[in-house]
Amino acid sequence: MFPFRSKIDPFSAFTINLGPLYVERVFDSLLTKEGIGSVVQMNAADRFTLYLDYLKTNIDVHNHTRYAITQFYKGHFYQQLAVHSIANETARHFQEKALCYYQNYLEVAEREDESRFYAQWQTGELQDTLNYSWPQIEESLQKATAIDLLRGEPTKKIVEHYISTREWKKAYVHSKLAVEKYLDKNPVADRRWFVQFDAYNWSVLTCHNKICLHNTFTHGKASAETVAKQREI
């Protein structure tokens, strides 16, 4: 179980650094203290709506740190609310709001921890969902990679895009990086925000070998050398 402090502060690094599940339990506790019963028994959409209502009534624009963290939470809660929305139009509306709040957070936050990485990563993911141009999406994902050198999810997303567009040379560049930097280096012991195991396990090498084979068929002898190198791994 995660530890709870005697006075819960949702706007502290302690709370955020313990990850999304802990954050949700903190907000459940805050709402319970405000007299809202059976919060944990509500469906997800109702709970996230209540979290957002709490933030709206407890905003403090004069406290820079608190205001910045509020932007991060709104981004996360709106994004989760979109996941649990039935109507596509409603989901898209929440995704657009989430993207806006993540971008606000990145502009005003002074923190250089996992929350900044996550906001930048999800900026790229939401831009992709909302059909932004690929150069914008890739820029956001590469910024996320630069923020946290242990996280391979943005690189995984880039590789998947170039596979889908059959741009094998570009896919190879990023996939080779994934093998070198992330294979068998899962950061789950030190990172809490939605670590994707496929960005670090055998899937990374399997994907890279597939890309190498396609490069071989497309470009012949030059790419055959890359396959030989992978057999040595």
In this predicted model, what pLDDT tens digit does every residue of 14-65 receive, in sequence order?
899 999 999 999 999 999 888 887 887 889 999 999 999 999 988 776 788 8
- pLDDT of the residue at 9: 83
| Residue 203 vs residue 231, higher pLDDT | 203
Using alpha carbons, select from 77, 94, 76, 98 the residue that is nearest to residue 85: 94
What the block records as the tokens of 72 is 């991060």
Distance of CA 57 to the CA centre of its chain: 27
226 pLDDT higher than 70: no
Domain ranges within the chain, ordered by starting residue: 1-148, 150-233
Using alpha carbons, select from 139, 140, 155, 142 the residue that is nearest to residue 200: 155
Query: What tens digit of pLDDT does each residue of 196-207 get?
Result: 999 999 999 999
- In three-state secondary structure terms, 230 is helix
What the block records as the tokens of 120 is 């930048």
Residues 144/124, Cβ–Cβ less than 8 Å: yes
Residue 63 to residues 5, 69, 101, 127, 181, Cα–Cα distance (Å): 22, 10, 17, 29, 38
Distance of CA 140 to the CA centre of its chain: 11
According to DSSP, residue 197 is labeled: G
In angstroms, the CA 168 to CA 207 distance is 11
